[in-house]
Amino acid sequence: MTTPSAPGTESEMMFEPTSAEFARDRYAIYRRFREQDPVHWRSGRNGGGRWVLFRHADVSRALTDSAFGRQVAPPAGATAPASAPRPFPALSALISSWMIFRDHPEHDRMRNPVARAFTPSEVARLRTRAQTLVETVLDELETRADFDVVEDFACTLSLRMIAELIGLDGVDLRMLRAWSLALAVAIDAEPTPAALERAELAARELTGVVGLALERRRREPRGDLLSQLLAASGGEQGLDEHEIISNCILLVGAGHETTTSVIGFVVACLLAKPECFERLAAVPSARHAIIEECLRYESPVQFTARVVKSEVELGGRRLVPGQQVDLGLGSANRDPEVFAEPERLDLERKPGEHLAFGGGRHFCLGAPLARMEAAVALEAIARRGRRWQRVEPNLTWRPAIAFRALERLVVRRG
């Protein structure tokens, strides 16, 4: 028998991702919900509420079943009805044109022209550039007594790669990073009004800067993504100028925050298990397993969201159209139904069906690029990072809910 949906169905258990307990050990909380209330109704403070899914099977289903759509309310200001004054106009305009918030067929129209830059063969072509960049960044860091693997290495690498690929190479990368972080905080679960204010400013500035780059490419086309999207623009299927700018901004954020996160955690694991350096030297294919296990174990995107399009039953619950659903990717990737001993980080684990890149129509567009960058970074660190030592004994994570990333990983040469 299914439980009736919506208010009144909440269990005794409360999912509180803003709590200190969640910040301390989110995985223990996921485990409890997977076992006791895997399709959880989370009541909102001002009425309403949303479902939260914790099991791999349910999250997978929501990613792939057409009963679930992607037109999910973006953050506060962006959700105001069209007739209401919009407190965050630049942020609303930006986010509402992101492919990630669109459903088929609009989603295909936006994704297809962008996807051409991220096919495995295009990404293979970028590998040499990534290798050069990695060596350059590491050479630059050689002069420093210590440095932060997250900001100085992983972020510099992934941001330069995506900026070049788009055609933003003239843009100040530090500013690009600051604006992207401001947007990431605003699209995280439960953003504060101050975070939304900062994101509004970032959205305005980013839209201006990417717009200028677009104008430059209109006058002087090159082989980059902006030039390609401009060439394919217009007509019924092409993206308009605002859509090109918005989706390139999505790529900047999506393309470096998450990749930075996985590279940072991979390096932390290597430093904690120095025997991996030997294994990497002896078995080059070990790289792949290490990266996939790190993606599973500390998934950079812990939650994404969907909206129910048509009535559907899940875990004995009835979900009805219009209800919002949070998909716990980070929890799904620790589900013992799919992964043996899921709470153990096993760098030799055979890669399985992790959902770190999502699934279905919105499967991460940049997955081949992220995997290639992580592999190139790991290859170089296996050669050059043996004597790195962590300066702080404990790992510090960013205080985010939907995103998971190390705040920093400072190392010095031993």
Residues that bind ligand HEM (CB under 6 A): 99-100, 111, 162, 250-251, 254-255, 258-259, 262, 300-301, 304, 329, 356-358, 362, 364-366, 369-370
Residue 289 CB, nearest approach to ligand HEM (Å): 15
Q: Which is nearer to ligand HEM, 11 or 78 (CB)?
A: 78
Residue 283 CB, nearest approach to ligand HEM (Å): 22
Residue 163 CB, nearest approach to ligand HEM (Å): 11
What is the rounded distance in angstroms from the CA atom of residue 239 to the CA atom of residue 384?
Answer: 43
Q: Which is nearer to ligand HEM, 42 or 362 (CB)?
A: 362
What is the rounded distance in angstroms from the CA atom of residue 234 to the CA atom of residue 225?
Answer: 16
Q: Which is nearer to ligand HEM, 202 or 262 (CB)?
A: 262
List the structure tokens of 198.
């900062």
Q: Which is nearer to ligand HEM, 193 or 226 (CB)?
A: 226
Residue 251 CB, nearest approach to ligand HEM (Å): 5
Cis peptide before 105 (omega within 30 of 0): yes
Residue 188 CB, nearest approach to ligand HEM (Å): 14
Residue 374 CB, nearest approach to ligand HEM (Å): 7
What is the rounded distance in angstroms from the CA atom of residue 61 to the CA atom of residue 355?
Answer: 11
- Residue with tokens 């788009």, as numbered in its chain: 166
Q: Which is nearer to ligand HEM, 197 or 295 (CB)?
A: 295
Residue 36 CB, nearest approach to ligand HEM (Å): 25
Q: Which is nearer to ligand HEM, 100 or 271 (CB)?
A: 100
Measured from each CB, the residue nearest to ligand HEM is 366
Residue 68 CB, nearest approach to ligand HEM (Å): 10
- Residue with tokens 């623009």, as numbered in its chain: 233
Q: Which is nearer to ligand HEM, 317 or 371 (CB)?
A: 371
Q: Which is nearer to ligand HEM, 84 or 270 (CB)?
A: 270
